Amino acid sequence: MNYTLKQLIDCYRSDQDSNFPKLHYQVRMKHERLLARLNREHGSQQLQNVRVRTLTAWYRSWIADGKIAMARSLIDRLRELFRFGATMLEDRDCGRLFEALSELRLESSALRSVQMTAEHARAIRATAREHFGWNSIALAQALQFELLLSQKDVIGEWLPVGEVGKSELVWRKQKWLRGLRWSDIDENLILRHSVGSSRRPIKVDLRTAPMVMEELELYGPRPQSGPIIVNEINGWPWTPAEFRRKWRLVAKKAGVPDDVNNRDSFPAGMIVGGPDRARISQPMTLKRIDYSLRTLR
């Protein structure tokens, strides 16, 4: 069959053997936006007429405004589309184009060198508590910084109720998953949690995390269950967008440079603690070590 790019995208979205429906919700939504752009810009293109020169022209148009990361993301989506078409649809043009993408010379984005310091973390914690009264943001910052946890692993995420995963917290047809719960901490202050998209198990002695211990002491008696990080305004776990917005207000008031983001609490590639980090036990798989080495290059 002589597919257009639009027809290939439609097959990729709907085929039961495609990886697309199996992606995590947030990843799927991100990829959906990229696929929509490909469809909008080049959906009518017949794949049999696409050559290396064609792909090169597309790529050049995407990086013309300096958005190298976006251009690479679009190329990655094309690569996945052509891989699917070559393997599942057994389409020769898809196989040819999958190989053609290896001929493209892609620019690399500069590695992010900004890091959050312990001084930044302390300033954010103090400002969140003392100026705004947002103790949840102070505790979240301590957990992220000392335990090397991503924002999502600390505050959780809200997903449509139809997505995979069970939760007793349902609000506006969405359910809360993944974030830290008080039940993750035992009587000896050992925290056990599964982190990352792979749900990698970690074990942390919170007594080796002084910032976290300070925030827990200010918190008072610990509940036995429920989310640890809760929005003081509505009593529900934070939505990521609102947490980021409020965190930026706190960081600005605390004098933290604008180029330091909340995601910098978790340095890319770090797999072991440093002088300002807690003692974290986690499986050191080859995949995890390889990721660390790649991100530190």
The amino acid at residue 256 is: V
What secondary structure letter does DSSP report for 108?
-
Which one-letter DSSP state was computed for residue 56?
H
Helices (H), the chain: 5-14, 25-42, 52-63, 68-87, 92-100, 118-127, 135-147, 151-155, 210-219, 240-253, 286-295
Query: Using CA atoms in the order 186, 187, 190, 196, what is the torsion angle rounded to 10 degrees?
Result: 20
The pLDDT of residue 291: 39
User: Which domains does the chain possess?
Assistant: 5-103 (1.10.150), 118-295 (1.10.443)
Q: Which strands sit side by side in the sheet containing 200-205, from one edge to the other?
A: 190-195, 200-205, 280-281
Q: What is the distance in angstroms between the CA of the first residue and the CA of the last residue of the chain?
A: 43
Q: What is the pLDDT of residue 282?
A: 58
CA distances from 35 to 40, 103, 168, 253 (A): 8, 22, 33, 39
Number of helices followed by number of strands (H, E) in the chain: 11, 6
pLDDT beneath 50, residues of the chain? 269-273, 284-297
Specify the DSSP element, H or E, that contains 237: none
204 in Cβ contact with 190 (< 8 Å): yes
Residues in a beta bridge with 194: 201
Q: What angle do CA 74, 80, 84 make, to 5 degrees?
A: 145
CB 91 within 8 A of CB 47: yes
Q: pLDDT value at position 275?
A: 53
pLDDT for residue 273: 46
| Residue showing tokens 């302390």 | 122
pLDDT of residue 277: 61
Largest CA distance in the chain: 67
pLDDT of residue 112: 67
The CA–CA distances, whole Å, from 148 to 144, 202, 266, 267, 278 equal 5, 11, 5, 8, 8
